[in-house]
A and B are shown apart, each in its own frame.
Chain A
Amino acid sequence: MPTVDPLLKAEAISKSFGSGDSLVKVFESVDLTVLPGDFVAIMGPSGCGKSTLLHLLAGLDDPDSGVVAVEGRSWQGRSLEERARMRGETIGFVFQFHHLLPELSVEENVALPLLLAGWKEERALGEARECLDRVGMMPRHSAFPRTLSGGERQRTALARAVVRKPRLLLCDEPTGSLDAAHAAEVFELLTVVARERAGAVVVVTHDRAWARRCATMLHLAAGGLNPSVEDGPPGAPYGNPGPSGSR
């Protein structure tokens, strides 16, 4: 089997908050490898550290021990400036809440990562409109976030996350704030758009039905990441077949 360089590699990472009596151990010895084309779902009870794990993967926080490396480059020992640049180049992020900037229109919000990367405004807006078209938000491209519905906001946030064609798309309960109908719509878009524009996807979700449709379904617990008992069926509709998680 030809070896493919992993997009993301987390080795034996552990994380705790506080110290002394108030020490909270979130998880220990978590391993995760994400290959190009992977579509990984992470599930787990509330408070088990799913958001914390995504923050560590995105280099927003440091693990107590272990190493996280994106495309072979570790976050550790890099300055904040360097991390920001690396994050902008390789990672897209979708949150539970849209986190769009209220002063900017939909297309400006989507173009923002490109503008931060130094693109010319003209080109950035063009690319942003292309993404908006993919998520069906083109008709509202000049609207402001406060006038959008929850589903529309989340679709815009999705467009913003993939506008720079990230190698890795991290989603933290992207449908958590939506009702079932909108959640289905956003999730559908996520799977389609992500395959077009992102190298690989790691998505945290509580929706078992959707998680089951992902290529890999992992369960986070204090002891680590384990393949879920109901692992995705072979030949799942999205991503690479076969588990690529904890091994």
Chain B
Amino acid sequence: MALALLAGFQGHIRERLIAETPHLTVRPEGRGEFLPADGLEEKISQLPGVLRVTPFVRGRVWVTQSSRSTPADAIGREGLSGIVMDPPLAGALALLPGVEVTLVSSRTRLSPLGPVPIVLSLPLSGIVPPVTSRRKPELELPIAEARRLMALPLDAASGYEIRMKDPRDPSRMAEEIRLCAGRGVSVSTWEDSNRPLVAALKLEKIVLFTTISLIVIVAGLNLAAITAVLAATRAGDAAVLAVLGAPPSTVGRVFLAAGVLLGLAGTAGGAVFGTTLAHVLDRFRLIPLPTRLYSIDHVPFRLEPADLAAVVVLSCVWSVLVALGPSRAVARMNTVEVLRANG
């Protein structure tokens, strides 16, 4: 149940990451640009599994408005008409959508007066929170303007962003691109570029599984107590079995079976209940979330068969281990004393 909840949220986060960040990013090693003459864009887009290759241009700029200015990472992409920036960046300069923003490049161009910085004015078309938290504020602008700001030739690119048909296993694709692009090119996957987040998701899962294991173990101890009480209250019957010719091993097995059956029943009940609840809650979106705070409007549940199997196996193995103790104690009891105690 809890794992399904976590898997639901994690699945949601991964989907958003996959949807909104490039699956693979190809950049030249060191400083430099790709030029169309390299033919790299062509080569990559012909690899099987590649959906789309888009160039981008990156660089540092100063964002200026009135008398204030602040540095930012700028990234030029295709298909934009104005500037899109992170809320903190917009907040720092008190910018509102629609205003003209002046970008000052770190590159210079030569003028009759000597080298002067390249300056560009563009309207702010949107303020959009990033999918993942970034260390530095960023802004996006149309790629053509970015090339001008960075003093790059037409059609040059700081790198290519690649979207894949099936983004779940990006590292194999990355390897292929590395082979085809040759040396001097670095390829990073969406998992690499969101490494802290991906690692946090994994850690979260491990922590949750540990917690569930502890719960199962505590429940198992409870089962041990129940089996022990069962063994104590039914010791008289066990003694009768012994008198009727049941060897200790058989008597032990009877109680072991009782304990294990109890454990299995509990496991099965829990699994069915959890699965059903997770399914119903997800299907009918029963737990709403405030959309202002979360990127999704209901609590998602996703039951991974592997998660379920792990919990079930753990629970079954543990109930056998736990029932073993009391049942062996019954098998080794002193029949005469039990008979005497039970009249």
Contact = CB atoms under 8 A, between A and B. Distances in A.
B246 A61 contact: no
A216 to B, nearest CB: 24
B335 A116 contact: no
A197 interface: no
A84 B247 contact: yes
A27 interface: no
Interface string B311-343: 000000000000000000000000110011011
Identify which of B240, B242, B244 gathers the most chain A CB atoms within 10 Å of its CB: B244
A113 B240 CA distance: 10
Contact of B248 (A55, A60, A80, A117): A80
Contacts of A93: 243-244
B298 to A, nearest CB: 48
Interface stretch (A96-104, A128-136, A222-230): A96-104
B336 A116 contact: no
Interface in B49-96: none
A198 to B, nearest CB: 15
A91 B240 CA distance: 13
Contact of B247 (A80, A89, A101): A80
Interface string B235-264: 011001111111111100000000000000
Interface string A55-76: 1001011000000000000000
A160 B245 CA distance: 12
A223 to B, nearest CB: 23
Contacts of A164: 245
Contact of A116 (B236, B245, B340): B245
A81 B248 contact: yes
Identify which of A80, A112, A160, A164 gathers the most chain B CB atoms within 10 Å of its CB: A80
Interface size class of B (residues with CB under 8 A): 10 to 19
A117 B247 contact: no
A25 interface: no
A195 interface: no
A51 B245 contact: no
Identify which of B241, B245, B336, B339 gathers the most chain A CB atoms within 10 Å of its CB: B245
Nearest to A80: B248
A85 B245 CA distance: 6
Contacts of A55: 336, 339
A23 B248 CA distance: 29
A57 B240 CA distance: 16
B239 to A, nearest CB: 8
Is chain A's binding surface mostly helix, strand, loop or mixed? helix
Given A55-B336, A99-B236, A101-B237, A113 B343 contact: no
Given A60-B335, A61-B336, A96 B245 contact: no
Contact of B343 (A84, A87, A97): A97
A53 to B, nearest CB: 12
A120 B336 CA distance: 30
A164 B243 CA distance: 13
A51 B240 CA distance: 15
B247 A160 contact: no
Given A81-B249, A99-B236, A101-B237, A51 B244 contact: no
A39 interface: no
A104 to B, nearest CB: 10
A116 B249 contact: no
A44 interface: no
A112 B243 contact: no
Nearest to B240: A99
Contact of A96 (B242, B248, B250, B343): B343
Contacts of B246: 84, 88, 116
B243 A58 contact: yes
A89 B244 CA distance: 9
A89 B245 contact: yes
B336 A160 contact: no
A60 B219 CA distance: 37
Contacts of A89: 245
Contacts of A116: 241, 244-246, 250
Identify which of A51, A60, A97, A164 gathers the most chain B CB atoms within 10 Å of its CB: A60
Contacts of A96: 343
Nearest to B239: A99
A113 B336 contact: no
Given A60-B335, A112-B244, 18 more contacts: A51-B340, A58-B243, A60-B242, A61-B336, A81-B247, A84-B248, A84-B250, A88-B245, A93-B243, A97-B343, A99-B240, A101-B240, A116-B244, A116-B245, A116-B246, A116-B250, A160-B244, A164-B245
15 contacts: A55-B336, A55-B339, A60-B243, A60-B339, A80-B247, A84-B247, A84-B248, A84-B250, A87-B243, A88-B246, A96-B343, A99-B237, A116-B244, A116-B246, A160-B244
